[in-house]
Amino acid sequence: MAAVRFGIIARSMKTSAAQQQMVKPPVQVFGLEGRYASALYSAASKLKQLDAVEKELTKFQQTLRTDVKLREFIENPTLKRHTKTEAVKQIASKLALSPPTANLVTLLAENGRLKSLEAVINSFKTIMAAYRGEVVCEVVTATALDDATRKELEDALKGHLKQGQTLVLNTKVDPAIIGGMIVSIGDKYVDMSTASKIKKYTDLISAAV
């Protein structure tokens, strides 16, 4: 199985035999990007290259965000799949990417889904966080949290973790929510923002008129 291409695994995901052969990820990720990420996890796990693949994908993601030409190439809908596939193969070879990573980007190019690359990378990161026992939590607030408030929030969130799990807290600032916070932890999503409450009450008033 070590020599089986990721592309073959991904194309075969719908068959029960392939599902039995795949290494199940520690957390379920949904959507098309989740399917690619899960197949990649299985392939990289069998080759014992999970850490290498994660590092390569993280670096690739950073490059996508800074290299305008590369991003435009990937998002260009006028280029034929064959052209993108050959170009991606050359990039993978130049960067000396591991087989699972190279096969992922090649398969996405072949299927005309390179636009989904960043979403696939994020899904794979979610799987890897769970693999390490990490629970990623994202908190969005209207203004930046001070140290005391962040510590209080971390302590409260840690109380919901299982034994052996580690909290990874990411904070973002979005003035549009006005106040309160939006919390995403694991597969749970709680919107406690002022903007959400205003919308709720506005909808209730509109319905009553």
| Mean pLDDT across 15-36 | 78
CATH topology of domain 133-208: Glutaredoxin (3.40.30)
CB within 8 Å of 191: residues ≥ 6 apart:
182
Q: Confidence band (pLDDT; 50, 70, 90) for 20?
A: low
- Of 180, 196, 177, 193, nearest in space to 145 by CA: 180
| Mean pLDDT across 157-186 | 88
d(CA 30, CA 193): 26
22 backbone dihedrals φ, ψ, rounded to 5° = -70, 145
Strand order in the sheet with 166-173: 166-173, 134-141, 181-185, 188-191
Question: Helix count (H) and strand count (E) of the chain?
Answer: 10, 4
The C-alpha angle 173, 177, 180, rounded to 5 degrees, equals 85
The region of weakest confidence among 30-34, 135-139, 204-208 is 204-208
Cβ-contact 60, 125 below 8 angstroms: no
- Of 10, 205, 207, nearest in space to 124 by CA: 10
Q: Confidence band (pLDDT; 50, 70, 90) for 209?
A: low
Instruction: Using the predicted structure, report yes or no on whether residue 178 has a pLDDT greater than 90.
Output: yes
Q: What was the pLDDT predicted at 86?
A: 93
Domain with CATH 1.10.520.20 in the chain: 6-129
Name the one residue in this structure whose structure tokens are 């029960």.
Answer: 16
Domain with CATH 3.40.30 in the chain: 133-208
Write out pLDDT tens, residues 181-190.
Answer: 999 886 678 8
Write out pLDDT tens, residues 72-103.
Answer: 988 888 899 999 999 999 988 988 999 999 99
CATH topology of domain 6-129: Peroxidase; domain 1 (1.10.520)
The C-alpha angle 107, 111, 115, rounded to 5 degrees, equals 90
Half-sphere exposure of 153 (CA within 13 A, CB side): 22
| Mean pLDDT across 43-51 | 95
Q: Confidence band (pLDDT; 50, 70, 90) for 8?
A: very low
3-state DSSP helix/strand/coil percent for the chain, to nearest 5? Answer: 60, 10, 25
- Element at 134 (helix H, strand E): strand 134-141
Name the one residue in this structure whose structure tokens are 């409450």.
Answer: 197
Q: What was the pLDDT predicted at 206?
A: 76
Write out pLDDT tens, residues 49-75.
Answer: 999 999 999 998 888 888 898 889 888
| Mean pLDDT across 92-117 | 92
The region of weakest confidence among 8-22, 71-85, 122-136, 189-203 is 8-22
The 10 Å CB-count burial string (b at 16+, else e) for 97-112 is bbbbbbbbbbbbbbbe
